Chain A
Amino acid sequence: MRRTRIAWWIIFVIGALYFFVPLVATFEFSLGHPWGPGGVQPSFDYYATVLSSPDFWGSLGYSFVIGIITIVVSISLLLPTAYWVRLKVPRARPVVEFITLLPFVIPPIILVFGLLQTFSRPPLPLTNTDFGSSVLLIAAYTVLSFPYMYRAIDTGLQATDIRSLTEAAQSLGAGWTRILVVVILPNVRVAILSGAFLTLAIVIGEFTIASFLARPAFGPYLSLLGNNAAYEPAAVTIISFGLTWLAMIMIAFIGRGGRTRVAVTGAR
Chain B
Amino acid sequence: MTEAAVTRSGQDAPRARPGRRFSWAWIGLLPFFVFSISFLIIPTFYLVIGSFQTTTGETTLQNYADLSDPQIVEAFRASIEISLITAVIGGIFGFLLAYAVIRGGLPGPLGAALMTFSGVASNFAGVPLALAFTFTLGRLGMLTIFLKSIGFDLNDTDFTIYSKLGLEIAYLYFQFPLMVLIMAPAIAGLKAEWREASENMGASTYQYWRYIALPILMPSLLGTMILLFGNAFGAQATAYQLTGELNIVTLLVSRQISGDVLNNVNLGYAVAMGMIAVMGVTILGYIWLQRRAARWQR
Residues of chain A at the chain B interface (Cβ within 8 Å): 1, 4-5, 8-9, 11-12, 14-15, 18-19, 21-26, 28-29, 33, 35-37, 77-78, 80-81, 84-85, 87-92, 96, 99, 101-119, 136, 139-140, 142-143, 146, 163, 166-167, 170, 175-177, 198, 201-202, 205-208, 212, 219, 222-223, 226, 233-234, 236-237, 240-241, 244-245, 247-249, 251-252, 259-260, 262-268
CA gap between A220 and B61 in the complex, in Å? 37
CA gap between A249 and B120 in the complex, in Å? 9
Additional pairs, 10, CB under 8 Å, beyond known A8-B105, A176-B7:
A4-B104, A8-B106, A11-B97, A77-B32, A84-B25, A91-B23, A205-B127, A226-B131, A264-B230, A264-B231
Residues of chain B at the chain A interface (Cβ within 8 Å): 1, 3-4, 6-7, 10, 12-16, 18, 23, 25-26, 28-29, 31-33, 35-36, 38-44, 46-47, 50, 93, 96-97, 99-101, 104-106, 110, 114-117, 119-128, 130-136, 140-143, 145, 172-174, 176-178, 181-182, 184-185, 227, 230-238, 240-241, 250, 253-254, 257-258, 268, 272, 275-276, 279-280, 283
Do B128 and A205 touch across chains, with their CB atoms under 8 A apart?
yes
With a CB–CB cut-off of 8 A, which chain A residues contact B232?
A: 268
Chain B contact residues: over half helix, strand or loop, or mixed?
helix
Say whether, besides A114-B47, A117-B50, A33 and B96 are in contact (CB < 8 Å): no
Nearest A residue to B134, CB-CB: A226
Say whether, besides A77-B32, A207-B241, A114 and B44 are in contact (CB < 8 Å): yes
Do B6 and A29 touch across chains, with their CB atoms under 8 A apart?
no
Do B275 and A5 touch across chains, with their CB atoms under 8 A apart?
no
Nearest B residue to A259, CB-CB: B185
With a CB–CB cut-off of 8 A, which chain A residues contact B250?
A: 107, 109
Say whether, besides A108-B234, A241-B128, A113 and B106 are in contact (CB < 8 Å): no
Looking at B142, B257, B280, the one whose CB has the most chain A CB atoms below 10 A away is: B142
Do B3 and A12 touch across chains, with their CB atoms under 8 A apart?
no
Q: How far is the CB of B264 from chain A (nearest CB, A)?
A: 14
CA gap between A175 and B177 in the complex, in Å? 45
CA gap between A14 and B184 in the complex, in Å? 18
Do A176 and B3 touch across chains, with their CB atoms under 8 A apart?
yes
Nearest B residue to A136, CB-CB: B39
Do B101 and A12 touch across chains, with their CB atoms under 8 A apart?
yes
Nearest A residue to B253, CB-CB: A109
Do B143 and A25 touch across chains, with their CB atoms under 8 A apart?
yes
Contacting A244 at CB < 8 Å: which of B104, B120, B268? B120
Q: How far is the CB of B202 from chain A (nearest CB, A)?
A: 18
Do B230 and A252 touch across chains, with their CB atoms under 8 A apart?
no
